[in-house]
Amino acid sequence: MNQRIIYPTDDGGVKIIVPAPAWLAEEGNTMEVLAQEIVPAGKSFKIVDVADIPSDRTFRNAWEYTA
Amino acid sequence: MAGTIIADTIQATSQQISLNVGNTTILTASSTGLTLIPTTNVNINIANSSATFTTANITGVATFSTGTAALPSITTAGDPDTGIYFPSANTIGFTRGGVEVGRFDSNSANANFQFNSGYGSSATAYGCRAWVNFNGSGTVAIRGSGNVSSITDNSTGDYTVNFTTAMPDVNYSGVVTAKGVAGTLQGIGTENHDATRSTSALPVVSVRRDTGSGFDSTQVNVAIFR
């Protein structure tokens, strides 16, 4: 609930996967499982706390992924 | 001995009394109860009456009459016009107060579920297969959902709704709304034409009605029908 998955886009940006609380509540569903399902194969990703993602989205399209 | 026994009491000298047909015992009675020992089916015929069981454990198939909407064949005590009946072959009807309120029809391909709910008659209902309500602004978060594992925040006003269980094909209908900003702009939610829908995900955008550019809506709703 308080975590997100981030991974880079091909043009240098970043995508953020927001889990559904109802999905996470199901037995066996974890952020790692979600990453395996959603992140494209071969892409690196990180699981981060929601607080690590800016809530000011003024420059959302300029956000970059850093490993 | 051939003939008829008329008696107020038949008392066994042992712990059990048996009723035989020929040399075959079909019924025993003891302090633990009655036991039917059928060689084929057991028929209990009580004319103009009924049989009452505290608990019935049926390990085979229970068969009921077809019933009607007014008198369904599976009902509850004291409310005989409410229950389940079988209007025709391969069809199951649900009735309440003597009026059908729903049914599974005999459509072999789709097995349609039909219900009334104020429509006027039982008519096929088409299910919402996935839905989500999320905040696309500030800290993006899902408020409520069904059959949605997550959303992907792609960029400003640009999201992807990821289904938990995939649709059978891409011919589903996706309904998208996006709330605007009070006193500032009206919002439009729609499918993203720059991305491709799949059986497992639908790309959506929230855009300003005045400029058509993307914006982050506080209230994005997506419903998938199939």
DSSP letters along B139-154, please? S-EEEEEESEEEEEEE
Q: Token pair of A67, please?
A: 């490993």
Q: Is A5 helix (H, G, I), strand (E, B) or coil?
A: strand
Beta-sheet strand order (sheet of B128-135): B141-146, B128-135, B220-225, B173-178
Higher pLDDT, B43 or B211: B211
Per-residue b or e along B55-79, where b marks 16 or more CB atoms closer than 10 Å to that residue's CB: eeeeeeeeeeeebbbeebeebeeee
pLDDT at A43: 94
Give the pLDDT confidence of B135-158 residue by residue, as tens digits: 999 999 999 999 999 999 999 999
ipTM over 0.90: yes
The answer, for B139 touching chain A at a CB cutoff of 8 Å, is yes
Give the pLDDT confidence of B85-122 residue by residue, as tens digits: 999 999 999 999 999 999 999 887 777 899 998 899 88
Instruction: Answer whether A50 sits within 8 Å of B139, measured CB to CB.
Output: yes
pLDDT band at residue B41 under the 50/70/90 scheme: low
Give the chain A residue nearest B200 (alpha carbons): A38
pLDDT at B26: 84
Instruction: Answer whether B155 sits within 8 Å of A61, measured CB to CB.
Output: yes
pLDDT band at residue A1 under the 50/70/90 scheme: low
Nearest to A13 by CA among B201, B151, B195, B154: B154
Q: What is the distance in angstroms between the CA of the first residue and the CA of the last residue of chain B?
A: 72
The mean predicted confidence, pLDDT, of chain B is 91
Cα B121 to Cα B53: distance, rounded to the nearest angstrom: 36
Give the chain B residue nearest A49 (alpha carbons): B139
Nearest to B10 by CA among B21, B37, B23, B27: B27
pLDDT at B1: 73
The kind and range of the H/E element at A15 are strand A14-19
pTM of the shown model: 0.77
Higher pLDDT, A34 or B105: A34
Burial class (CB in 10 A: 0-12, 13-18, 19+), A37: middle
Instruction: Answer whether A34 sits within 8 Å of B150, measured CB to CB.
Output: yes
Residues of A with CB below 8 A from B141's CB? 18, 50
Residues B29, B20: contact at Cβ < 8 Å? no
DSSP H helical segments within B83-175, as ranges?
none
